[in-house]
Structures are given as C-alpha cells and as structure tokens.
Amino acid sequence: MIPSLCAPILSLRRKAFPLSADGYLSPGFTFSRATAATFVDRSGVVSLVGPNVPRFQDGRLLMEGDRVNLWTNSQQLPAAAGLGTGYSTAAVEAAFTYAYGAQTDYAGRGVLGKAIRFNGAPAAAGVTRPMSYTMAAASMAADTEYAISRYAAWTGVGTPTGVTTILRSLGALSNPTGPSFDYSDTALRRYVIQRVTTSVPDAISIQQNSNYLAGANDLEQFIGGDQFEAGLFPSSLIPTTGGAATRSRDICAGPLIGLGLPAMGFTLYGSTVFVGAGQSSIHQPIFTVDAGATTARWSLYADGTGVRIRKDGGGNTAIPIGTMTPGVVLRWAASFDLINMVMSACVAGGAVGTQGSPGVAMTHLRIGNSASTAAPGFNASAIWALPYAATAMQLPSIAAGAP
C-alpha cells in the first residue's frame, strides 16, 4: 500500500476540460501549446481541442513534440463531382461506383472529413481503388524516415460482407498490404499504414483497395484525415486544408515550491505509455527535475535501449533501470533527496538506479521535457507525489502499486 499521499500532481480525478478524457492538472503547473491539437477522448473518438488545452487519454496527460503533416489536404477529400487538390483516382471497375458526401464534423468532435459511399461488387478481389492521395517527391527528403497513417470510421451505413485494406505505394515499389479497415467500428480510429525510409526522394501515395461483395448494398466509410509526417512513429492527427500544417509541442512545468513539494525531498510515482520510444535512440523523457534555465537536471526517460535515469551537471551519466514496450503501460517510481542531492528510481520489476548531485539546487519539475527549451517526449503519463524521499527498498513496491 502507498502511504500518505499528498495532493496529486497529475491524477485520474474527473475534470471537465472541453471534450477531454478524465484528467486533472494540479495547481502550480502551467500548460501551453501554441496550436490546436487532437486526441482520443473517453468515448474512443478522435477529437479536436484549442491551443493551450491539455489532452488526457485514458487519464494520462498526452505530451507530444512538434510535428508537421505534409499531406496538404487531409480534410479536403474529393467532392462527388471532382477531386480535391492532391488526390487522384486509380482503376475503378465499371460495376463498382462511389460518391463523396459533403465535408462534415464527425460525431461533433471538431474533426472534419467526408464520407465515401460505395455501391456494387468488384469482379475480382482487391482491385478497386476508389481513392488515392499522392504527394510529390519535392515534399520529401532523402534518407529520412516517415510515418503514414489514415483516420477512418464506418458510419454505420450498409452491411459489410468483406474487407478493405489500406495500402501505400512508394514510386515504382509494389503496394504492400497495410491494415484492414474495421467495418464493425464506428469510432474514428487511426490506422497506421507503414513507416518508410526514402534513400532517394520519390513520390508516395496511399490507396484503399476494396474486397467486399456488397452487391446493391451501399456501404459508407468516413475519412477524417490522412497523415504523412517525418518521424519514427505517427503522432496525433494534424488536420490540413490547403497546405502542410504544424502541431506545436506541449509544455507542462511548475516550480517545486509552487507545487507544494517538500524542500527536503519527495517521491514521484506513476504510469506512462510511450507512443514510439524503443524504436530509436531519441530521448523521450517522462519528466525532469531541473534548476530552471541551466542544463543541470535529473530525468527519467526511455530511448532505443530501454528506460534510464540521467544526471546532467557535475558529470553527465545515464543508468539503465529497465525495459519498455511502445503502447504498453510502464509503472515507475523515483525519489529525490534534496538534502543529500540524490535521485533514485526504478520501474516495476526492474532494478533501482541512483544518481548523485547535478551540482546545483533543483527548482522545477517538467513533465515530458528534457530541458526548458527542448521538445517533449511522445508519451502520456499520470503522476502522483509522496511528501518524502522513499528509500531504495521502498521504491519497487511503490512502482508496482502505481495505478
């Protein structure tokens, strides 16, 4: 049992942020993000919130860095009488027709898109491609990794009798099969198509092949956006209408004294879900405790080799304390002895690691930030605090008991 909790720093307490999932940001924290952003709300629908509004997914504060969606018209799908900018049609059999509806806000969550209604039966499996979207090679850089995804939902119209798959094509390469679209799911979901690395810039497209024998039955799918972004893994949907668009990074921080954390020491514990750490050596911090504008800090983060605690200042060192898997909940605990200037931490089931002093007094706690000016890691965390520095013997049970 975890004893004597102080006020939560981040908690699962219900809080009515506009369209958000359950979450609570304790007094003393400041949160900012210069742009609007999307997230998956508690009903499972992709939703849009305005600038400076925290996003909570499954009770965890979502923190993401800057990303750009290079698809220029992710929400301007072709009209019934023509194609939108950047879109093209592939081979469509005469026996199989389709039409696009008006642009709408799916489920009233602020994400615009269009429904595609199919009718007819293809003569052979997997040959109809009612819509594809191509991006010119000029928009791509050589030797760069990109993540491709599509947001889609079944509108509930029609009776599915087969499947449709989402494909991607890179230049002259053959079309690898992507994920199968789920016609039993009316929530707007992300379907990750594939990560691609371009040795030479080349045009890229995504397509959708249908393999259902619907006969005269109309079948309708809502496309809420396509996303093509430079990065090792896809992030939340960035809507575009006429040009590439950027989602700014999330920033969440507060002074230790303003957060009510004891001056002699405290313990943080919680659970974190990483979006894509483990696929690269890029640091994805859960939090840092630092000295304000200086580079002196303690941090708990994941990278391509696992979970580590790091000290910057007075000799930079990083100590491995466990492993993690993207998309799987990681439970952890970290204590801070501010008198002797020692940080200790562990993940559930892992070893306890200890770091010494960064050389100056610590003054701030930052969620997801590796430094005051650095982009945050791509993860979602729920964090609480204990009003004392736990011992190395106490930490494993605290980590194991994190919600």
Please state, in angstroms and as integers, the Cα–Cα distance from residue 308 to each residue in 215, 275, 296, following that order. 56, 17, 17
Reply yes or no on whether the pLDDT at 392 is more than 80.
Answer: yes
Q: What share of the chain is helix, strand, coil (3-state, %, to 5)?
A: 5, 45, 55
Better-predicted residue by pLDDT, 68 or 344: 344
Task: At 305, list the tokens.
Answer: 């080799």
Q: What are phi and psi of 396, to 5 degrees?
A: -60, -40
Highest mean pLDDT among 190-204, 253-267, 332-346: 332-346
Residue 197 CA to residue 201 CA, distance in Å, equals: 9
- pLDDT value, residue 276: 64
Better-predicted residue by pLDDT, 396 or 176: 396
Q: How confident is the model at residue 231 (pLDDT cuts 50, 70, 90)?
A: confident
* Residue pair 229/237 in contact by the 8 Å Cβ criterion: no
Give the CB-side neighbour count of residue 276, counting CA atoms within 13 A.
18
Tens-place pLDDT, residues 53-66: 989 888 889 999 88
Reply yes or no on whether the pLDDT at 267 is more than 90.
Answer: yes
Owner of token pair 């491609």: 129
Task: At 226, list the tokens.
Answer: 């396509």
**List of E strands, 261-328:** 265-274, 284-290, 297-303, 306-312, 317-322
Share of the chain above pLDDT 70, in %: 65
Query: Residue 389: beta bridge partners?
Result: none
Task: At 398, list the tokens.
Answer: 């605290």
- pLDDT value, residue 115: 75
Reply yes or no on whether the pLDDT at 3 is more than 50.
Answer: no
Overall pTM surpassing 0.85 (yes/no): no
Mean pLDDT of the region 395-399? 95
Q: How confident is the model at residue 1 (pLDDT cuts 50, 70, 90)?
A: very low
Per-chain mean pLDDT for the chain: 75
Residue 179 CA to residue 185 CA, distance in Å, equals: 14
* Residue pair 185/222 in contact by the 8 Å Cβ criterion: no
Highest mean pLDDT among 122-136, 219-233, 320-334: 320-334
Which burial class, exposed, middle or buried, applies to 326 when counting CB atoms under 10 A from its CB (0-12, 13-18, 19+)? middle
Full DSSP string of 334-396: EEEETTTTEEEEEETTS--EEE---SS---EEEESBSSTTSPBPSEEEEEEEESS---TTTHH
Among 18-22, 74-78, 134-138, 170-174, which stretch is predicted with the lowest mean pLDDT? 18-22
Better-predicted residue by pLDDT, 148 or 285: 285
Give the CB-side neighbour count of residue 100, counting CA atoms within 13 A.
21
Q: How confident is the model at residue 364 (pLDDT cuts 50, 70, 90)?
A: very high
Reply yes or no on whether the pLDDT at 131 is more than 60.
Answer: no
Reply yes or no on whether the pLDDT at 128 is more than 50.
Answer: no
Tens-place pLDDT, residues 72-113: 777 765 544 333 444 444 444 445 556 667 778 877 888 877
Share of the chain above pLDDT 90, in %: 23
- pLDDT value, residue 119: 62
* Residue pair 303/281 in contact by the 8 Å Cβ criterion: yes
Among 216-225, 349-358, 368-377, which stretch is predicted with the lowest mean pLDDT? 368-377
* Residue pair 156/106 in contact by the 8 Å Cβ criterion: no
Q: How confident is the model at residue 324 (pLDDT cuts 50, 70, 90)?
A: confident
Domain 10-65+250-400 = CATH 1.10.760.10? no
Q: How confident is the model at residue 18 (pLDDT cuts 50, 70, 90)?
A: very low
Reply yes or no on whether the pLDDT at 265 is more than 90.
Answer: yes
Q: How confident is the model at residue 226 (pLDDT cuts 50, 70, 90)?
A: confident
Q: What is the architecture of the domain spanning 69-246?
A: Sandwich (2.60)
Identical fold, 10-65+250-400 and 69-246: yes
Give the containing element (helix H, strand E) for 196.
strand 189-198
**List of E strands, 231-261:** 245-247, 251-255
Q: How confident is the model at residue 365 (pLDDT cuts 50, 70, 90)?
A: very high
Per-domain residue ranges for the chain? 10-65+250-400, 69-246
Measured torsion, CA atoms of residues 50, 54, 59, 62, in degrees rounded to the nearest 10: 100
Task: At 145, list the tokens.
Answer: 């990794």
